[in-house]
Amino acid sequence: MARFQCLTCNAVETVTASEPQSCARCGGPVFDLDRYMTTRAEAAIIGAQNDAFRKALAPVEWQGQTLRGRVVVTRGIRDMGPDFVQAALATTREDENFVDDHCRYGARSFGMPEVMHEGDAFRIYWKIDLYENDGLMGPEVESDPSQTIRVLTLCLPDEY
């Protein structure tokens, strides 16, 4: 059994056979409500894991499992000097302003904070990407720490 919700009238229909092409009530388009809710729930877990990793900027224990990964700093960030690198890392740890387009229902994988350096504010980007253990592709279950490696990249906007 699966539930589908209409985008037009918000009616929810439970079906046992094939996926409906349109709402039985109004004919509007429908989406798989159960898949949507599962995606949101997994994204919330990934968001909590990403927050823990970003705040540690290193492998960290989360609910009894190790969140593995590494931090990559681009040449543009590095060329600003060691004090800027340290300020960028500190700002990334504390950032709480996530960009929704990259956050898939709460995955909190992208931010654009400003770093204060020598009296000026510089915009940086941080992005967390999830890879499987060999680092080539995304993991089958992104929320499973045993099959997921995080790569947090710090860069300047013109390097993105």
CA-CA distance, 144 to 48, in Å (whole number)? Answer: 12
Residue 68 falls within a domain, yes or no? yes
On average, the pLDDT of the chain sits at 91
Residue 30 falls within a domain, yes or no? no
Question: What is the span of the domain harbouring residue 128?
Answer: 46-159
Residue 2 falls within a domain, yes or no? no
Residues in CB range of 109: below 8 A, 6 or more apart: 46, 50, 98, 102, 103, 127, 128, 129
Residue 141 falls within a domain, yes or no? yes
pTM above 0.85, yes or no: no
Please write the tens of the pLDDT for every residue from 61-92: 999 999 999 999 999 999 999 999 999 999 99
Residue 96 falls within a domain, yes or no? yes
